[in-house]
Structure 1
Amino acid sequence: MDGMGIIEIKDKILQPFFYDEERGTGLGLSITNDIVKAHGGDLSIDSKLGLGTTFKIILQQQ
């Protein structure tokens, strides 16, 4: 999956316990998203087939 993008699983990837490989717990992105939201921020995912995926975290400056 490296560098190919995650278009087909983009809607599921922030759900707890979701993983698409044999290793991991499926909690990392879910926990990250919860922490970002708890601080009033947003985590967005932009994935393009063949180009890869970008995760963007936006937090308000205080």
Structure 2
Amino acid sequence: MSDSESVTTTVTAGPPKYQVTIPKEVRQGLDLEGERALLEINVSLVKILDEKGGGK
């Protein structure tokens, strides 16, 4: 593993499956590009993105 064992980034997720992708910069920063890895992820809501207008 690289010198950095944690990296902070933002990702977006939406219906129907709310799947996210670990960005390339994060994979490279953690030196796991091309590897299978178990990641521990803390999730915080930053903002609801409402493309329909309105929102919460």
Give the TM-score range, shorter chain.
under 0.3
More strand by percentage: 1
TM-score, normalization by structure 1: 0.21
Q: Which has the higher contact order (CA 8 A, sep 6+)?
A: 1
TM-score, normalization by structure 2: 0.22
More helix by percentage: 1
